[in-house]
Amino acid sequence: MQIFTHKKDLQEYLRKWFSGNTIGFVPTMGALHAGHLSLIEQSKKKCGVTVCSIFVNPTQFNDPADLAKYSRPIENDIQLLEQAGCDIVYNPDTNDVYDGEPSIIQIDLGGLDKVFEGAQRPGHFDGVVSVVKKLFEAVKPTDVFFGQKDYQQTLVVRKMIRQEDMSIKFYTCPTTREADGLAMSSRNARLTIEERAQATNIYKVLKQAALKQGLYTPTQVEEYMHTELKKNSLMQIEYASIVDPTDLKPIIDWQHGAVILVAVKMPSTRLIDNVVL
Ligand code: PAF
């Protein structure tokens, strides 16, 4: 596995050894877990060469404390990527990614960036598209792999690819879960024992809600989710909503599919999850 900290060296290496190959790309912020490794596995299946980036992007954190707390176990990450058979790691600093000071680009995301995560974390998706565009320009992937856990992020990045006319195939890969159903996330490590015990209920409620599709209206199922999630004393519900899976707008019936989105704040971290119907 080759590790690069400068994009010009990465590009030279790809040109020299992998020209004509499909390039699969998995962008990450490190603190890797089995969910990330499943994206590497998908990329390896589909592409001639797999590149993973590890870069904690400051521009997508609206809360400086969250950025400061973000874990950076780089040696362990590199070991995991090596074991997973990743070909190339791009582990740049801010200067290499942004060609200087971090900057924000404006892309019309059609309002997808203003709701749910965008409303809870103002500016978050501006930072995400800014860094993802820079990373795509650095790696020049043919195929990119993102996890469904960040459902709204998958819609936002797809939209950016269309808006910017990029010729990139986008794959949304299934959420990897702990044995009790909790969606894997780098933030789970921050949960206390009590919080972790309650966190398991997020996916339980999502699954129960999914079973009610067609039997109740989306609004009734949202009410059900609120009632159930409120039973967890350490959870503050940010949203528990059932919306159109393509534009995240409210739905009144189940005819055109749905995605159930949940975000909760716990004392030590916030967690998100979803189920697509
Ligand atoms: O999902 C993430 O880890 C980040 O938002 C991403 C896509 C790597 C951009 O920093």
Render pLDDT for 260-276 as a digit per residue (tens, 0 to 9): 999 999 999 999 999 99
- Ligand 1, pocket-test mutation among 26, 39, 51, 57, most atoms within 8 A of CB: 57
Residue 253: its pLDDT value, please? 96
Same domain, 92 and 226: no
User: Residue 22 has which token pair?
Assistant: 């499909």
Residue 66: its pLDDT value, please? 87
| 266 domain residue, yes or no | yes
CA of 28 to the centre of ligand 1 (A): 5
C-beta 258 within 6 A of ligand 1 = no
What's the chain's average pLDDT?
Answer: 97
Same domain, 140 and 257: no
**Nearest-atom index, ligand 1, CA of 157:** 7
DSSP element (H, E) containing 272? strand 270-276
Domain span including residue 192: 186-272
- Ligand 1, pocket-test mutation among 104, 124, 132, 133, most atoms within 8 A of CB: 132
Question: What torsion, rounded to 10 degrees, do the Cα atoms 162, 164, 170, 172 define?
Answer: -80
Same domain, 91 and 134: yes
DSSP 184: P
Closest listed residue to residue 117, CA positions, set 144, 143, 89, 156: 156
| 80 domain residue, yes or no | yes
In single-letter form, the type of residue at position 267 comes to P
Q: Is the pTM of this model over 0.95?
A: yes
Mean pLDDT score, 207-224: 98
In degrees rounded to 5, what are phi and psi of residue 30?
75, -160
C-beta 59 within 6 A of ligand 1 = no
CA of 147 to the centre of ligand 1 (A): 10
Q: Tell the residue nearest (CA) to atom 5 of ligand 1.
A: 128
Residue 62: its pLDDT value, please? 87
Same domain, 37 and 157: yes
| 53 domain residue, yes or no | yes
Same domain, 99 and 158: yes
Q: Tell the residue nearest (CA) to atom 9 of ligand 1.
A: 128
CA of 82 to the centre of ligand 1 (A): 20
Give the tens place of pLDDT for each residue, 114-142: 999 999 999 999 999 999 999 999 999 99
Same domain, 144 and 64: yes
Same domain, 112 and 139: yes
The whole-angstrom separation of Cα 68 and Cα 194 is 24
Same domain, 115 and 206: no
C-beta 131 within 6 A of ligand 1 = yes
Task: Flag whether pLDDT at 69 surpasses 90.
Answer: no
